[in-house]
Every structure is written in C-alpha cells, then in structure tokens.
Chains A and B, each alone.
Chain A
Amino acid sequence: MSRAAALEMRNVVKEYPGFPPVRALDDVSVRIDHGELIAVVGPSGSGKSTLLNVMGTLDRPTRGVVSIDGNDTATLSDKQVAGVRARRIGFVFQQFFLLDGMSAIDNVANGLIYQGVGLNERRERSAETLKRVGLGHRLTHPPSHMSGGERQRVAVARALVHEPAFVLADEPTGNLDSKSTGAVMDLIAGLHEEGTTIAVITHDTKIAASLPRQVTVFDGRIESDTALQSSYT
C-alpha cells in the first residue's frame, strides 16, 4: 500500500447521552481509497447524517478510529482537527451555505482562507476551480443572482479549491430540480474521472445506483457495501 486510505473508519460507535443512550452508529467500519466515488445511502433516521459528521470530523466518535489520509483524528485537539478539515476535507451541503454578501469567487476563496493562503493566490485558485466546474463566466456574480444548479456548482468549487483528500457531499441534489440534479451529478462524475475522491450521502437510491460503489446504512449499521460484496463473491 503506497498511500493510506483517504478515509478509514474502524469499529466506530457513536452514542448520544440519554437513558438509555441513543446509539446512532454501531460498529461501523468503512474504507474509502483515493480516487473512489461512493454513495452512502439510507433512509432518513438511519444514521447517515451522524456518519457524515463523524467522517467529516465535525463530530467525534464515542469509540473507534477515524483516520483521514493516514492521520488518526482521535489523538488530535479540536484545533488540530480544524486543521484537518481546512486541508484534507471538502464539504458540499444540501443548502449550499453560500454567503450572499460576496461574489462567487470570494465564496470559493473561503475554502482556502483557513489555510492561511494569501488573498491573491486564493482568488487565482478559486477562478481556476470555478472554470473547472463550468462557471468561468460567473466569477464576480453574487450567489443570490444564480440558479440553484449554479449555486451548488459554486459550493462544489469551494469544496475542491484546496485539493482535499476527499469531498463529502451531503444530499448535494436535495434542493435541485431534475435538470440541475443531472448537471451536478455529471459534474461529480467528471471530477471522479479526473481523480477526485468523493462520498455522496443521499437517501435517493436512484442517484446511489448511478455511482460505482454503494454503502447502505440502516439503523446505525452498515447493511451492505458493494465493494465488500464484490470481493467476497
């Protein structure tokens, strides 16, 4: 193995306190290698969101190991985990979370700001990334003047601009019409072909089926993982 997995989770348990404690993730192990495009699929309440938060280091597991690009996050302080997010993980959200007061290019540049990259370099790299997602003509537009599909492409550019180990996309098409959904999924497929590692979290089995690997979550457990099935059968 020349390179560590982009993301590796081993025997991860996440419990929320209460009587009895709520076990949102129950002994989850999953490995995502560099260059993979996977779907994490499951109905709402299955533990998908918790899985996303733990994968993205936004939440810490109660037990188990979460390792990002070879860095075990359990031993890291809050501040250091923030550094892992700043440099190794890209997020795409269902609600886009673009800031209306600034242009598309500055929204994308926010993806570099917590790495301490200077303003000029931030803007240069953001312009390049926006061209990569097909928005080279919309650099200075504010997101409020854009369609839903365009907004989500800006958000994808923001997740890519710092060249993360992997991108976590949480229901990236959840707020889009069918035409924009197609465009965003095509963009994701294109990025995958260029070598980007992407995990798409979705409840939509049709979208999940269109991706090379599906991990199905149910009741906080991994019910099935097409990568494991193919290796067994």
Chain B
Amino acid sequence: MTPVRQPPTLTSRLRPSDVLRVGASGPRARKMRTALSALGVSIGIAAMVGVLGLSESSKSALLDEISALGTNLLTVESGVGIGGGDGSFPEEALAAINRIEAVEIASAIYDVDASVLKNEFVPNGQTRGLNVVAASQSLLDTLNGSIDEGSWLNNATSTYPAVVLGSVAAERLGISTLTQPTYVYIGEQYVEVVGTLEEFPLSADLDRSAIMGQPAAEAFFEGDPSPATIFARVENGTIDSNRELIPATADPENPEEVTVSRPSDALEAQAAADDALTTLFLGLGAVALLVGGIGIANVMVIAVIERRGEIGLRRALGATRAHIRRQFLTEAVILSALGGAVGVALGIGATYLYSGLQGWRVIIPGTAAAGGFLAALFIGAAAGLYPAMRAARLAPTEALRA
C-alpha cells in the first residue's frame, strides 16, 4: 500500500451504479443513433442464434427419425456385374440370412414383371413411375413401417391377388380411402387393394410400389422367386461384423456382387451436410457481427469527438481519466448488449417461426443464446476500447476549448 498523502475526504469516486447511469446517458439522449448502431450487432447475433437454433431443431428432427427407424437396418442388394450376377440372389438367400444368429428379422422383396394401373382403360406403359413388387410377410415389421388404412398382407391375402399400396402409389392411383372395395389393374386382371401404407422413411422406393404377397406373385404374375433386395435388422453392435458376413451368406458363389448398405447412413450424411451449411451461415453471422462491432467503434469515435465538451465538463466536475474511460467503454457495451439482446430474441423468434412451419420440435441451444449475448458484449468492449482510451487521454483544458 502506498502511504495516503491526502485526507480521504478529497477523493474522486464514481459508484458502480453510476458508471452504468453515466454510460447509459449518452445512448439515452440519442435514441435513433443508439438503435441504428445496435442494429448491426443484432443482425449478426440473430443470424448466429437463428442458424444454431434451426440446425439443432432440424437435426433433432432428423435424429428422432433415425432413432424411430433404428440404425440397425441393413439393406442387401445384388449387383448386375462382370461376375455373372443377374441382379438377384439365390432363392434360398433370405432363409440363409435369417439363419445368422445376430439377425433379428429379415425379409425380402421380389421383382414382379407387371405394371399397376388405375383400370383397364389406361394404356399399358403409363405407369406413373409406379412398380409392382412382391414381399415376404415380415417386410412391414422389418422396416418399422405402418399401415395407413386397411391391413397388411396376411397368410390368406398373400396367396391371392391382393395388394397393399405405398403412400405415393395410393395417391397417384387416386385412392384416398378404402371404405369401398377398391381395385387396381395389374397385368390383365383386377386386384383388390387391402391396405395403404404410411411413408417409409428408410426405403422411399417402396412408397411408389404396389406390394403383393410373394406366393401370389409366383402363382398369378410369374413373379421372380429370387429375392431382389433383402432387408435385415441385426442386433445392435453387430453391424460391422454382419456387413462382412452377409455377402457370402446371401450369395456364396458371387459374394463380391453383394452390396450391404445402411439406410440410416444417408440420414446421418444429411445431418452432416446440414452441419457444413450451419458452419457456413455461422461464418456469415460472425462477419455481420464483426461489421456491427466496427459500426459501434465508428459511432463511439464520433461520439468522443462530438462530446469533447461533456468530457471536459466531467473532468472539471472531478472525473478521473479512469472514470471517463469507464463511461465510454460502458456506453459501447450498452450499445452492443442492446444489439445482442434484440439479436438473441430475433434469432429465437426466427427459430420458432421456421421450426413451427416445418413441424419440428423447437430446440434453442442455451449455449447459442448465452454465447451470442456474450459475444455481443465482447464485441462491444473491443469496439469501445480505442474510443474510450481517446476520450480518457483528452486533456480537460483542451476538451473545454469549444
């Protein structure tokens, strides 16, 4: 401690509450300028909070979807290739895969060489992008699919000409309800529609299909007895080992023709792609924030020049250099805090609005909101530093010379 050379009654002192009051006096007296200079920061913060909120909300929607479908589903396909593969598996491939211990459930779809039409008057070939496949009864369970209306194929309906329509197929064939017996025209005959399906998020192809039982396909439509695609749900944690095991099991003669993929990978890739986009927008937000900060620095430099008289007056009233520095620093932080608060609110609002329109669950990452506000404060402090130093360095006699 340095010795006190002065009676304690002769000290200059500014209470912390008055630092705020004095710092707010400038912005309060010039409301328009305050609003405009805070705007830049608020745009930057709003962009960052909004982007983070939207990406979290959309990602959580995606992850919800992934976890609802399960990440343990494998799709097994046979290639048409040099090795002599004809795009289908041996007939016993499904049974073989089902024998793998770690496979919980597996099912297959089979090609059917026919097209599905609304009725006999529609010219053959106008398939509207729809196709006909046959399936084993376990398909719905394997894919976690669900029935929209009617029922899935059972022991009886899978042996007779009857189909279940995917969601897109039902829509394109103009079938909105099954309250009346409903038929579609497949390969020279009318076939009853026993059910319609909800969307399959993991296998969009099936949405555009009319699905019939495999026995019926063989009996009535010359269906291919060899599986075209096999879906297998495996125990969690055995995905990698099964990826290696399945090809040889499914097609021992041409294992190299067999590809095993994991549909949830596509969704995860989408989430990752969203991440890249988020980073880009976050960068843009950071640029806006930086520009906003420069705007505040600019306004503060002008304020210091304009308010020399005030600075001189305050020094005459007993303010120390530190008090002046604190005043202008506080003023800059108040501007940026205003911008930050408005920006966080705008960002959250935008997230609510857009997520609401998308039907996503709204997730506002607390770190984004708090981090955005703190970033604004930091930018304000950085922007105010130089102007505040200039204000503090101004000699009182010079400042009072108006």
A119 contacts B5, CB within 8 Å? no
Bound form: Cα–Cα A59–B398 in Å? 10
Does A111 reach chain B (CB closer than 8 Å)? yes
Q: Which residues of B contact A125 (CB under 8 A)?
A: none
Does B315 reach chain A (CB closer than 8 Å)? yes
Does A100 reach chain B (CB closer than 8 Å)? yes
Shortest C-beta distance, B328 to chain A (Å), equals 15
Bound form: Cα–Cα A80–B5 in Å? 9
Bound form: Cα–Cα A160–B87 in Å? 100
Bound form: Cα–Cα A71–B10 in Å? 10
With A110-B314, A114-B314 given, name 11 new contacts (CB 8 A). Answer: A78-B320, A79-B11, A80-B11, A85-B318, A93-B400, A95-B309, A101-B30, A113-B14, A115-B12, A115-B13, A158-B317
User: Which positions 9-33 of chain B face chain A at CB distance < 8 Å?
Assistant: 9-15, 17-18, 21-22, 25-26, 28-30
Shortest C-beta distance, B395 to chain A (Å), equals 8
Q: Choose among B11, B14, B319, B322 the residue with the greatest number of A CB atoms under 10 Å from its CB.
A: B11
Q: Which 3 A-B pairs have the closest CB atoms?
A: A86-B318, A101-B29, A116-B13
A111 contacts B317, CB within 8 Å? yes
Partner pick for A113 among B18, B26, B400, B402, CB 8 A cutoff: B18
Does A146 reach chain B (CB closer than 8 Å)? no
The total of interchain contacts (Cβ-Cβ below 8 angstroms) comes to 111
User: Which positions 289-311 of chain B face chain A at CB distance < 8 Å?
Assistant: 309-310
Partner pick for A87 among B5, B10, B17, CB 8 A cutoff: B10
Interface size on A, residues (CB 8 A): 35
Does A76 reach chain B (CB closer than 8 Å)? yes
Q: Which residues of B contact A119 (CB under 8 A)?
A: 17-18, 21
Shortest C-beta distance, A93 to chain B (Å), equals 7
Bound form: Cα–Cα A114–B324 in Å? 11
B317 contacts A85, CB within 8 Å? yes
The 0/1 profile, CB within 8 Å of B marked 1, for residues 55-88 of chain A is: 0101100000000000100011011101111111
A113 contacts B25, CB within 8 Å? no
Q: Which residue of A lies closest to B310 (CB)?
A: A99
B14 contacts A80, CB within 8 Å? no
Q: Which residues of A contact B322 (CB under 8 A)?
A: 79
A76 contacts B315, CB within 8 Å? no
Bound form: Cα–Cα A93–B21 in Å? 24
Name 19 A/B residue pairs within 8 A (Cβ), A-sorted.
A79-B322, A80-B6, A80-B10, A82-B319, A82-B323, A83-B11, A83-B318, A85-B316, A86-B11, A91-B317, A93-B400, A99-B29, A101-B29, A101-B30, A102-B25, A114-B13, A114-B319, A114-B320, A115-B13
